[in-house]
């Protein structure tokens, strides 16, 4: 009867008003209703990406969005670099390889971030790199790569395009795509944008549009030129997922109402609450404080099984957290705190985590993390009141 606490790093819970919006009766995809939908959504999406450009919306998983970026910006044989900081960096590299791009990997230990100096050295050694693929938040490790600094290095030391996977960051942490010199920023609907999965988003810089125009890589559904052209008439080249667009309109309006700066503060707070609690509970965090993501936190237990904890949290306490991916599959648990997630939700999540820990290890962990999380939350509210 009671629904689970969904605290995986996406798909994330859907706000009731977004759910409601998706119940709108179906309309024609070429009708005025759909055009108005697209027309209303566009200006509200742009600040979330930090761009003045249009944001292309396509039917597909986030991976479809990443592939769109790759096939539109580079041609088979082009030399590209992927900074691989986890499973999604790996995926970006696999996409590039599937399209016969000559793909260099800049690998770092999972749980650490890509280093701007290393990137600089690599680019100076490889002046023929034509595009650099970066992951903003590496969902598999909870690391927020220093995307502003990384993009700056690419723009300063090369002519390569900067392509960023923003799947679990856009909407949860500030993106200033235009200011940071990012050429393509991709995300999906099921993370900080508070929607079900099924939409991919991609914003493109003016200089990247020039490249896209002439790019000869084979593509049809993912050919961004068609989406841009259709968008001029508030339309799409292929039937869009109309119900998800209704949800999207409501979601971007909710975001607009709360305000981006408030949203980013809330995510920062939720991260701080989670991390403080984990530290108090003696739970080792995979990512260091200075590279921690405001949307997802990975815990790497050292004296019990992460997998067992994850299973117990679900079966005994109705709390759904994620395990790891690839070689970290059974090594970590990941807590998502993004999108339709409040500090209250985080308090509950921490309580349930404490109970799971206690049950699994026998330790008296009751309230230990909650105490720190409450303090963090309390101080946040006090500071806000002082300011307001």
Range in contact with its own copies (rule: CB under 8 A) among 3-11, 341-349, 353-361, 369-377: 3-11
Q: How many CB atoms are located within 10 Å of the residue 281 CB? A: 19
From the CB of 265, what's the least distance to its own copies, in Å?
24
> Sheet containing 199-204: which strands, arranged edge to edge?
55-59, 199-204, 184-188, 161-165, 131-135, 79-84, 102-107
**Among residues 52, 76, 367, 384, the one that binds its own copies under rule CB under 8 A:** 76
Q: How far is CA 104 from the centre of its chain?
A: 23
**Among residues 36, 77, 100, 206, the one that binds its own copies under rule CB under 8 A:** 100
Instruction: Count the residues of the shown chain that bind its own copies, applying the rule CB under 8 A.
Output: 53
Nearer to its own copies, 101 or 129 (CB): 101
Phi, psi (deg, nearest 5) at residue 32: -55, -40
Cβ-count burial of 383 within 10 angstroms (0-12 exposed, 13-18 middle, 19+ buried)? Answer: exposed
Q: Does 192 bind its own copies (CB under 8 A)?
A: no
Q: Does 116 bind its own copies (CB under 8 A)?
A: no
DSSP 3-state of 16: helix
Whole-angstrom Cα distance, residue 304 to residue 357? 9
**Among residues 17, 42, 53, 94, the one that binds its own copies under rule CB under 8 A:** 94
Phi, psi (deg, nearest 5) at residue 83: -85, 110
Nearer to its own copies, 60 or 146 (CB): 60
Q: Does 115 bind its own copies (CB under 8 A)?
A: no
Element (H, E) at 248: helix 242-258
From the CB of 266, what's the least distance to its own copies, in Å?
19
**Among residues 46, 104, 120, 219, the one that binds its own copies under rule CB under 8 A:** 219
Nearer to its own copies, 5 or 205 (CB): 5
**Among residues 148, 198, 345, 355, the one that binds its own copies under rule CB under 8 A:** 198
Token pair listed for 65? 């969005």
Applying the rule CB under 8 A, the residues between 302 and 321 that interact with its own copies are 320
Whole-angstrom Cα distance, residue 335 to residue 322? 6
100: left (phi over 0), alpha (psi -120 to 50) or beta: left
Q: Does 376 bind its own copies (CB under 8 A)?
A: no
For residue 324, CA distances in Å to 235, 317, 328 come to 39, 20, 5
Binding track over 269-308 against its own copies, x by CB under 8 A: ----------------------------------------
**Among residues 35, 44, 47, 59, the one that binds its own copies under rule CB under 8 A:** 59
Nearer to its own copies, 63 or 211 (CB): 63
Q: Which of 284, 271, 288, 287 shows the shortest CA–CA distance to 350?
A: 271
Applying the rule CB under 8 A, the residues between 160 and 189 that interact with its own copies are 188
Binding track over 233-262 against its own copies, x by CB under 8 A: ----xxxxxxxx------------------
CA angle centred on 228, ends 26 and 171, rounded to 5°: 70
Whole-angstrom Cα distance, residue 159 to residue 148? 16
**Among residues 115, 118, 197, 264, the one that binds its own copies under rule CB under 8 A:** 197
Residue 323 near residue 299 (C-beta atoms within 8 A): no
Residues contributing to the site for its own copies (CB under 8 A): 3-4, 6, 8, 10-14, 19, 22-23, 25-31, 59-64, 67, 76, 94-95, 98-100, 188, 190, 196-198, 218-223, 237-244, 320, 322
């Amino acid at each position: 009867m009671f629904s689970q606490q969904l605290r995986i790093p996406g798909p994330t819970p859907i706000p009731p008003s977004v759910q409601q919006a998706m119940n709108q009766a179906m309309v024609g995809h070429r009708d005025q209703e759909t055009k108005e939908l697209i027309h209303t959504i566009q200006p509200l999406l742009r600040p979330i990406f930090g761009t003045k450009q249009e944001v292309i919306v396509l039917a597909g998983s986030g991976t479809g969005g990443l592939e769109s970026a790759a096939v539109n910006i580079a041609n088979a044989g082009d030399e590209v670099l992927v900074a691989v900081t986890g499973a999604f960096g790996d995926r970006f590299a696999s996409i590039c390889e599937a399209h016969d791009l000559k793909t260099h990997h800049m690998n770092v230990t999972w749980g650490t971030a890509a280093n701007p100096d290393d990137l600089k050295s690599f680019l100076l050694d490889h002046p023929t790199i034509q595009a650099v693929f970066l992951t903003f938040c590496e969902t598999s490790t909870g690391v927020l790569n220093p995307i502003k600094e990384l993009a700056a290095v690419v723009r300063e030391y090369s002519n390569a395009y900067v392509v960023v996977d923003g799947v679990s960051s856009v909407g949860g942490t500030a993106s200033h795509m235009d200011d940071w010199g990012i050429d393509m920023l991709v995300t999906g609907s099921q993370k900080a944008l508070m929607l079900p999965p099924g939409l991919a988003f991609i914003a493109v810089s003016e200089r990247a549009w020039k490249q896209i125009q002439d790019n000869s890589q084979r593509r049809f559904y993912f050919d961004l030129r068609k989406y841009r052209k259709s968008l001029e008439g508030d339309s799409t080249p292929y039937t869009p997922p109309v119900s998800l667009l209704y949800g999207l309109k409501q979601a971007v309006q909710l975001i607009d109402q709360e305000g981006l700066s408030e949203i980013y503060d809330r995510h920062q707070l939720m991260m701080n609450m989670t991390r403080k609690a984990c530290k108090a509970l003696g739970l080792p965090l995979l990512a260091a404080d200075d590279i921690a993501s405001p949307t997802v936190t990975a815990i790497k237990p050292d004296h019990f099984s992460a997998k067992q904890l994850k299973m117990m949290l679900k079966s005994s306490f109705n709390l759904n957290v994620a395990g790891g991916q690839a070689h970290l599959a059974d090594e970590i648990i990941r807590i998502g705190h993004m999108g339709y997630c409040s500090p209250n939700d985080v308090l509950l999540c921490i309580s349930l985590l404490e109970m799971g820990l206690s049950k699994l290890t026998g330790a008296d962990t009751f309230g230990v993390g909650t105490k720190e999380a409450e303090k963090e939350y309390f101080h946040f509210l006090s500071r806000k009141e002082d300011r307001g």
